[in-house]
Structure 1
Amino acid sequence: MALGLVCSAAFAAEVRLKDVSHVEARGVDVRVFRADASEPLFGSVAKTGDGVVFTAALPLVAGESYRVEIKSADGSWSERRLKFSLPAAAAPTVGISPVPTQLPANALKLYLQFSQPMEQGVFLERISLHQQDGSVVQGAFRETELWSPDGRRLTLWLHPGRQKTGVNLNSDEGPVLQEKQKYSLRIAPSWRSAQGVELGKEAVFALTAGAVDHATPNPGRWQIRVPQAGTRDPLKVTFDEPLDPAMLASALKVRCAEADVAGTVALALDARTWYFIPAEPWVAGKGAIIVDPLLEDLAGNNLLGPFEVDRDVPVNPVEVRPLSFEIGK
């Protein structure tokens, strides 16, 4: 049995297993665990010739150890361990967040995630938004170029002057996205990494515009799944809508016994699920998730109020309370 680990464009990873033709692609005969966690990672299993591919729902972490369990033909389980390491520098790849990319028609931003630091100052020459008939949406993006410190993530702003109703550009040119319409975001193959290597082929991402969203995120509709004491299984929060994936990396903090809990955060690719993995095993007792009130949804509405505000209507103050949970023994 051979194992391989492949980094995809969206930084989710595929665990490839060869010479295991007896394994069925049911998702129950192959399990992948983080280190010694008791619960397997979320993902899907598919047959590929004489083997199978496990595609993780969450990004794997470089340097972290993973445990792969395969059910043998006789019903017993065998185990292999591996570590995820970044591939050698080659042509860069690019993914989009969130995935799948269904946006409210008044969405404000997307994120492009590259496998390598990219050349900067050229994004308006390298990116275009197209309608379903292939025509280009002119003036779709704000000219602000905002990169993450490592040069790999680009915040792509849909022009707020067109996306916000009642302002001049919106009235004169109309919004960037029209409800119920489909679009494609195209990334030019000539975009180079900081090392001068081109993407080499055009990347195309399908976008769909849904209904406009003027409602503030509501933590009362979020669902929390609580782990057991003594484990390092993740604390899971599921949102009722996609939230800003870049903000989610730091907008929620976990507190137990009146002290912040150290750990790492992971996000599902659709930006609807947040995971917190503690540095040390959970201790039984009450805890809380502290939410930054400035956390936004994809349309820029935060917990304190909507992005678009009628100045003639008084805004009532909003109290954002911690989300309580309890770790059982």
Structure 2
Amino acid sequence: MTHGKSIKLFLVDGSINGILTAEIINWTGHVLSAPRTKLLDLIQREECARTGIYFLVGQDPEDSLPSVYIGESDDVANRLKQHNRTEEAGGKDFWEKVCLVTGKDQNITKTHIKYLESRLIDIAKRSGQCLLKNGTAHLYNRLPESDTADMEYFLEQIQVVLPALGYTFLKEMKYPSEQPKVNSIVPASVDTSNIEADFYLSARDIQAKAKIIDGEFYVLKGSQVRRDVSQPTHNYMKNLRPQLFENNIIDPNTYTFNQDYLFSSPSAAGAVILGRACNGRKEWKDSTNHLTYETWQQNQVERVIQE
């Protein structure tokens, strides 16, 4: 049974655009988030003098995905000062926000943090939800078994808190095409908000499949992508589609998805697949009743109201 979680947020400056802290009850971690414009105030906080993991995040208007650098340090404040320098002086120009994760006590060591950094870089690469600015990361597995278990739990909490703060690049991807299908009849009285649903997109020369899991839209492995792009200036054609080819999520030879991929919306998925602007709510269809996504979604709400 899945239980809810409470995340405690505190606006340090009284503004949503300032420094923000986040905690989960009974978790030893502590999260700080701030815009780069608040860096001076941030590095003066005591948390920045601890051992921790940090994320530098930037969003280029020309890119669909955020640029992210993941790092670790025994003295995060000093490391952030270095990153704030110009590129010519060894700093990084791309970032606009910073997120820092530390422990509330002294039990998080350099070894723990290096393990977390390695795992987080791996997760960010596999998710495909950001442009990772890190170089090659080495697998770091020098922890005792018990410490590894503790850090995996710590990592799970990071993946809960960061998306709640708007940092979605660490979402652990689901791979629905690799999961066995279970045939079951769902009673009408059951809450249908989290029930999976299958969709397809069919055009003259391509066939694509998708699945909704926990309210998120995944295009499935093996889905075809149109080779010709009829609207090359469209935002998804200039940015997201090339990035998916570059990351080998779409095979550049066969023009098919090499893996299941999470899209922000049915329209984003449809545009990448069709090579043009797409109203995904009208072009994706329910595999069971062949209703449009729009009609299917409307029916879900009406059915609950009737019950």
TM-score range, shorter chain: under 0.3
Q: Which has the higher helix share?
A: 2
TM-score by length of 2: 0.27
Q: Which has the higher strand share?
A: 1
TM-score by length of 1: 0.26
Higher RCO structure (Cα 8 Å, ≥6 apart)? 1
